[in-house]
Chain A
Amino acid sequence: MNGLIGHGALLISVAVIVLGIGAGVMAGRLRTQDWINAVYSAVYTNFVLVTIATGAMVVALVTHDFSVSYVAQVGSRATPLFYTIISLWSALEGSILFWGWVLSLYAVVVVWANRRRAGALVPWSATALLGVSLFFAILLIGPANPFHLVYPVPTDGPGPNPLLQNHILMAVHPPLLYLGYVGMTVPFAFAVGAMLSGEIGSNDWIKLTHRWTLLSWGFLSAAIIAGMWWSYEVLGWGGYWAWDPVENASFMPWLTATAFLHSAIMQERRGMLRLWNVNLVVGTFVLTILGTFLTRSGIISSVHAFTTGTIGYFFLAFIALVLVASLGLVAGNSDRLGSVGHLDSAASRETVFLLNNLFLTVFMFTVLVGTLFPLVAEAIRGVKVSVGEPFFNRMSLPVVIVLVFLMGVGPALPWGRASRDELRRKLVPPAAGAALLLAIALAAGMRNAYALAVVALAGYSIVANAREIVIGMQARHEARGEAWGVALLRLASGNRRRFGGYLAHIGVFAVAIGIAASSSMRSDREATLKPGESITVAGRTLRLKSVWGREETQRSVVGATLEFVENGRVAGIIEPRMNFYPASQQPVPTPAVRSSLLGDVYVNLQAFRPDGSNVTVKVIYEPLVPWIWAGGLIVVLGAITSILPQRVRVTREADARQPATGARGALAGLHANVEAT
């Protein structure tokens, strides 16, 4: 029954989307309200249908309806309810269904928020969104159909991949990733809509796109950090990033989207980089589809690759279509996208933004080349190669160092032109921050030159960004007599986008310092211990207390209890485990982490004697790892601050200046934010 409902809803949705696209073309050409309403109705109806299909799948999962193929594949009566629900995205078909649902949700919100907007931009954008939805709908009734009927109906299933039901972050990382990844479709749809409607020359679409990119970017940033955290907490290697193709797939669009968030401001304020911005928006979307293709088609070897069928060929056809259509559109519109403004001076924020875009793009291409190189090498020279961490680390470190520095210089410089005096006043004092952090790092024993450079420049840039906030507070404090706290709040809410930018920068610095310290100063040891024996790593002594085993509903657990010994006294315990799931012969390591502000003690149970007489543990001390997670949180807070609607007073002003906009309420703040930056 669930299978029938789900599959039926998806079949109807394909028809609705096709009709909607037809109506969209008419709406774009004729611009009559009836056709426009027809497109919007198609978007709303599609959302309802895909929601029904997704709901049917969740019901099937929860009720263990093994007649549905996807449930038979990932369901199990022994799996706890929570992990049963989130197994919606634990395998290929379910994840495509979830993707389709997120996309239909975005389409509804985009259309609803802009439904009164005049012109053909929104109808064309809605049509583009429907076009992308059509691809996923076809996947869902074809090669990735999750609703196949299984007969005879199995009585139980294997449960989701053990790695995916071993940690709570599995409930967090994938939805965030989809919200970020799929969300990049919206800016793309606006770009396509702007090109097809002829509004590409105006700045309106870029303001709209900027805000939506900010939203998706916030989700994507959170998703990448959550993915790193998951990998760190679950995989047992004590690392969080390995330059695997699937990680690169999420990182490349993040880089181009980050570049766009900055270059869009250049266009809004100075009328510059108009062609470049369209390219960034389109490129970001193409990178999301390319990334999905690379990791879902089996074309490149990746630890994360799902098992594949014919789906790769569908993705290939879709990429071909997207590339041909968007490159054709962008190139065909390029003569309308000349720069209006120009650089006044090399010593200006514009210059830093240009450099930031240059380096972010270089970074993206480096990652892209590293990811695709095995393919290119085999095509040209017929050899199999793999590109590993050393390439990526060596290539990206200098770029990261420059970017961290630019993130400090940019906010300190004014738009237009800075005088010599201003330059000195703005750029010299933050050097104190660099000196301070450099001294601390050296004292703490950091010797790696790259890591030291990252930390020192992060110190510089933290001061530069914090100083901008303090200067703003000081101005309010002196001019209006506001208390410091009030001044900070008013400053933040008065210009949310700029304040959110500073916050996001500071978060990135925390992440950079965390990565620099944890990757350059990690110490680890492996030892086989009998109960009572100890191991010491980086001055921390751990004593094996006991080895134990227990049965849980869906798995068996073997664990070791180790005590932290400080000055002969026990100061806490840590319990690394190994989980055994019936569906998998391979045990799932479940490392235990004791975090503090300064670093993590990370213990992984490598092996054990069945009689409990000894265990092999790997103990890792990694300094400042929690800074990465905290920094990620600050970045997300920055993104949220930037997106939150501006205060009402400003909103009215914005509305008054743009009577055509009409949309009120929360989303109206969009324009206000942009105006105020």
Chain B
Amino acid sequence: MNWRRASLGVAAAFPVIALLAWGMTRDPKDIPSPLPGKSAPSFALSVFAPGQQPLARTVGDTVRLADLRGQVVVLNFWASWCLSCRDEHVTLSAVARQYAGKPIQFLGVLYNDEPVSGTAWIKEMGGQSYASLNDPGARTAIDYGLYGVPETFFLDAHGRVAYKQTGPASAQVLARVADSLLAAAEKDGAPTKRNQ
């Protein structure tokens, strides 16, 4: 046994071990979005599913992000073929209803799907409290750097992306983020519009 060489061999092992050890502190599924903190990509999309009172919108109307300035916007990308979207559907629908009357807008955006299938899905799921928009060619989804569905973007009253949720959103996350954004909007006195 040549101990000098042996210790060189041992030393060679350390970078690999260090890399793997460091890797243990990371979560590979946590894919950061570069958007939070940046101004949200604008969109103008037409309503295909009206939602229910008091959050209903008219089918065919165009919703522009610019028109929503001063309100918190919760943008949920979903699809009828997406199974996790089923899981979060009830939660989203209920939370949106709870916040009715506050300066916050919940909007669904259909991703890579036909409005007909989307409408049928909403019917099958027992309705949805807020309206959903059609995104032909997935242009808005691409602007938002969608990685999969469901993903939910929270935009603050200034139209900046404040938070992104990958995967189904829980009621806790929705309420926590919505409350903090509403409080921030209240505090810095952004010109808020009331929900209709």
Contact = CB atoms under 8 A, between A and B. Distances in A.
Interface of A: 293, 297-301, 312-313, 316, 319-320, 323-324, 327-335, 372, 374-376, 378-379, 384, 585-586, 607
Contacts of B7: 328
A323 B16 contact: yes
* B contacts with A: majority SS: helix
Interface residues on B, range: 20 to 34
A324 B10 contact: yes
A379 B24 contact: no
A327 B9 contact: yes
A324 B1 contact: no
B21 interface: yes
Given A299-B23, A313-B24, 8 more contacts: A297-B24, A299-B28, A316-B21, A323-B17, A324-B13, A329-B6, A331-B6, A335-B5
B32 interface: yes
Nearest to B18: A379
Given A320-B17, A332-B1, A327 B10 contact: yes
A551 B77 CA distance: 35
Contact of B86 (A297, A316, A378, A585): A585
* Leading 4 A-B pairs by shortest Cβ distance: A331-B9, A332-B6, A301-B28, A327-B9
Contacts of A319: 17, 20
Interface in B11-30: 12-13, 16-17, 19-24, 26-29
A514 to B, nearest CB: 32
* A contacts with B: majority SS: helix
A372 B28 CA distance: 12
Contacts of B19: 372, 375-376, 379
Contacts of B12: 327, 331
A638 B28 CA distance: 40
Most buried by B among A297, A324, A379, A384: A324
B125 interface: no
Given A299-B20, A300-B23, A320-B17, A331 B8 contact: yes
Contacts of A378: 23, 26
Contact of B9 (A293, A316, A332, A379): A332
Contacts, number: 79
Most buried by A among B10, B12, B13, B16: B13
22 contacts: A298-B28, A299-B24, A300-B23, A323-B13, A324-B10, A324-B17, A329-B6, A329-B9, A331-B2, A331-B6, A331-B12, A332-B5, A332-B9, A334-B5, A335-B2, A375-B19, A375-B22, A375-B26, A379-B19, A384-B32, A585-B86, A607-B81
B184 interface: no
B1 A300 contact: no
Given A300-B28, A333-B1, A607-B81, A328 B23 contact: no
A320 B13 contact: yes
B24 A312 contact: yes
A329 B28 CA distance: 34
Contacts of B31: 384
B23 A375 contact: yes
Contact of A374 (B16, B22, B28): B28
A586 B2 contact: no
A327 B26 contact: no
A332 B86 CA distance: 60
A313 B25 CA distance: 10
A313 B24 CA distance: 8
A332 B4 CA distance: 7
